[in-house]
Amino acid sequence: MGIVYTLLNPVRAGMVKQLEDYVWSSFNDYYSREGSEIVDSQFVEGLFGSRESLFEFICSRSWQELPVQITRHGDFLGDPTFVKEALKKFDRRKKQDGIHGKRIDDRFIEPVEKVIQEFEKQKGINIDHIDVQCFKGKRLRGELLVHLKDRAAMTYSEIVKFDIFGNLSFGSLGSIYKNAKKRIKENGSSRKDD
């Protein structure tokens, strides 16, 4: 895991004894309530879940057994099979251009305003009037979170700025998203009359 390898560079260099002692480490930024403009908190949370899980993984020794492979494109942390696949994807993306060179997800990002407007129309409610103190309101908020993240490609640090999400901790958005996404997949979108 390149993230863990990078986080431990100050420890390996003997600058600090523990990674959380390094003032310039991004470790604490991954799970900060305010979010971060520098690190992709959403990506790290998707990989590790909680801050505690990331810390446990860092403390484990299993990741340290991965070799560093030196290639013409730079160093890769992983076994030769991983490096071969990574280079194949890199070469493929390099040859492609325009919309065909983008990830599928990048081709279909919708404007935030459109996502919210369609959500409000489908549910028959203004998002500013959703009562998040009740069960139905919490479910609607979770569903809106899924729409904003999946359709508008918003990050948690952007989403938490909406009033409806303002009372939530930044770290809780990942679990709310996962639960709402699972519920939508199993039951379909909640209907207006739920």
How many whole angstroms separate alpha carbon 41 and alpha carbon 152? 17
Domain-located, residue 194: no
Q: Is residue 153 part of a domain?
A: yes
Answer yes or no: do 18 and 43 share one domain.
Answer: yes
What are all long-range contacts of 6-9, with beta carbons under 8 Å and residues at least 24 apart?
Answer: 7/58, 8/58
44 lies in the same domain as 84: no
Q: Which residue range is the domain that position 90 belongs to?
A: 66-106
Same domain, 6 and 58: yes
pLDDT at 77 over 60: yes
Whether residue 130 is found in the same domain as residue 182: yes
Q: Where are the alpha helices (DSSP H) in the chain?
A: 2-7, 9-12, 41-48, 51-59, 80-95, 104-107, 112-123, 135-150, 156-159, 173-187
Q: Does residue 59 sit in the same domain as residue 71?
A: no
- Whether 45 and 77 map to the same domain: the answer is no
Residue 100's pLDDT is what?
Answer: 47
For 5-22, write each residue's pLDDT tens digit.
777 778 778 888 887 788
In which band, very low, low, confident or very high, does the pLDDT at 102 lie, cut at 50, 70 and 90?
very low
Q: Is 158 exposed, middle or buried (CB count within 10 Å of its CB: 0-12, 13-18, 19+)?
A: middle
Identify whether residues 59 and 75 lie together within a single domain: no
Q: What are the angstrom distances between the C-alpha of 131 and each of 140, 165, 169? A: 9, 12, 18
Place of tokens 């990674």: 19
- Does 193 reside within a domain? no
User: How far is residue 152 CA from its own chain's centroid?
Assistant: 14
Domain count, the chain: 3
112-156 pLDDT, tens per residue? 898 999 999 999 999 999 999 999 999 999 999 999 998 888 888
Radius of gyration, alpha carbons of the chain? 20
Whether 192 is in a domain gets the answer: no
Residue finishing a domain among 106, 134, 165: 106
pTM equals 0.46
